[in-house]
Amino acid sequence: MNASLTELNSLSQLAVLSLRIPKVECIPRDFVFPSLLKYDLMLGNTTKYYSNGYPTSTRLILGGTSLNAKTFEQLFLHKLEFVEVRDCGDVFTLFPARLQQGLKNLRRVEIEDCKSVEEVFELGEEKELPLLSSLTELKLYRLPELKCIWKGPTRHVSLHSLAHLHLDSLDKMTFIFTPSLARSLPKLQRLYISKCGQLKHIIREEDGEREIIPESPGQDGQASPINVEKEIVLPNLKELSLEQLSSIVCFSFRWCDYFLFPRLEKLKVHQCPKLTTKFATTPDGSMNAQSEVSEVAEDSSINREWTRDNGWTEEEVEEEEDGDGDGDGDGDA
């Protein structure tokens, strides 16, 4: 295997490569992957993944293996677009700051069942802006040690291409977006959050972030302070799902209390007992969310779903069904 990999660097005209390496330790420590236009690179236990033959993008898949930092950095090839990481140990930061130059083309990231990952993107002081501007899809599942998705100053990050964000079983994460990130979500269509036991806010200023986030220009070009936001609009959000979030209190902490989702088609709120944010429709049919941090929403113990076509439906949480039994079932949504 070592000889075969080393020989790749002698193929000066090599532009497209599909390669499966069952054992990561077979990669020589001084090996550098050649510059390629298209590739499918699969390492570790990736038998359930199939290459579609001729690679049409730049894709890296890691599965069921342990990686030291040196080996992990070797795998970040030119123009990386798709990254899937499953059941990998010994990786604490998936994308360290020194690799962020290689993330300009990153479009899709999916990480699951990695027991040691503590952060996904480590952010540095980057001159070339913006970072992560091509990212369209981010899925994070069952990462018990994950504390944050983005670590460092987020003012250099733009998520203006992000359309799908799925978060499930992230036990130690307490918030998702900083204010600067929340302003850069014009294309977000689907936001699914479930089983994140310590999540308290969807948007929160990270420690030290208040002083380093620049003022946001208003519609007339004038600067407006970040901590007096009156309204945040997610213009293309179609589906919002909040499930089994035992600690969530509100959408935003001390920043913005009103959110508008003009194109929302489906909303699900299940088992969020501390949630103070109230959802309601506007006269034109848009959904809005308003935080009232002083009190828990009256319906927070009820599983509620809303669709644009059918309105609200709700059901009592199962463990509460044996309580007061004389409800007549005709309460307003």
Model confidence pLDDT, tens digit, residues 188-203: 999 999 999 999 999 8
In angstroms, how far is CA 206 from the centroid of its own chain?
16
Please, what sign has the CA dihedral across residues 51, 68, 153, 113? positive
- Please state the rounded mean pLDDT for residues 300-321: 76
Is residue 271's pLDDT more than 90?
A: yes
Flag whether 289 is in a domain: yes
Verdict on whether the full-model pTM lies above 0.85: no
C-alpha–C-alpha distance, residues 298 and 251, integer Å? 16
Report how far residue 138's alpha carbon sits from residue 109's, in angstroms, rounded to the nearest whole number: 5
pLDDT value for 67: 59
SS3 4: helix
Rg of the chain taking only CA atoms, in angstroms: 22
CATH number of the domain that residue 275 is part of: 3.80.10
Give the pLDDT of residue 236: 97
- Residue 62 above 70 pLDDT? yes
High-pLDDT (> 70) share of the chain, %: 64
- For residue range 149-167, list pLDDT tens digits in order: 998 888 888 999 999 999 9
What is the model's pLDDT at position 284?
87
pLDDT value, residue 144: 96
Q: What are the tens digits of pLDDT across the range 102-137?
A: 788 899 999 999 999 999 998 877 666 788 999 999
Would you state the structure tokens that stand for residue 222, as one six-digit string?
Answer: 């004038």
Residues in contact with 328: Cβ distance below 8 Å, sequence separation at least 6, in sequence order: none
Q: Mean pLDDT, to the nearest integer, of 232-237?
A: 94
In the prediction, which pLDDT does 326 show? 44
Please, are residues 253 and 279 in contact by the beta-carbon 8 Å criterion?
Answer: no
Please determine, for residue 333, whether its predicted confidence score (pLDDT) is greater than 60. Answer: no
Give per-residue pLDDT as tens, 257-269. Answer: 789 999 999 999 9
Residue 299 lies in a domain: yes
Structurally, the chain folds into a number of domains equal to 1
Is 168 a residue whose pLDDT tops 80?
yes
Q: What is the pLDDT of residues 316-328, one digit of tens each?
A: 665 544 444 444 4
Residues 6+ positions from 122 with CB-CB distance below 8 Å: 93, 95, 96, 97, 100, 151, 152
Token pair 């359930």: residue: 48
Quick check: is 41 in a domain? Answer: yes
Residue 227's pLDDT band (boundaries 50, 70, 90)?
Answer: very low
Determine how many CB atoms are found less than 10 A away from the CB of residue 260: 17
Q: What are phi and psi of 165, to 5 degrees?
A: -130, 115
For the cut 60, the answer to whether the pLDDT of residue 21 exceeds it is yes
Domain membership of residue 328 (yes or no) is: no
Give the pLDDT of residue 300. 58
Cα–Cα distance between 84 and 71 in angstroms, integer? 16
Mean pLDDT, rounded, of the chain = 77
Q: With respect to residue 181, please indicate whether it lies within any of the assigned structural domains.
A: yes
| 189 within domain boundaries | yes
Q: What is the pLDDT of residue 112?
A: 94
Look up residue 139 and give its amino acid.
K
Distance CA 234, CA 259 (A): 8
Range of the domain at 138: 13-206+230-314
**Mean pLDDT, rounded, for 220-232:** 51
Q: Note whether 114 and 143 are within 8 A (CB).
A: yes
Taking residues 2-28, report their average pLDDT: 65
Q: Residue 228 to residues 45, 204, 224, 255, 267: CA-CA distances in angstroms?
A: 50, 14, 8, 7, 27
| Angle 50-163-192 from CA coordinates, rounded to 5° | 85
Q: Give domain status of residue 56, yes or no.
A: yes
Task: Tell me: pLDDT of 287 over 50.
Answer: yes
The verdict on residue 143 lying in a domain is: yes
Distance separating alpha carbons of residues 194 and 234, to the nearest angstrom: 20
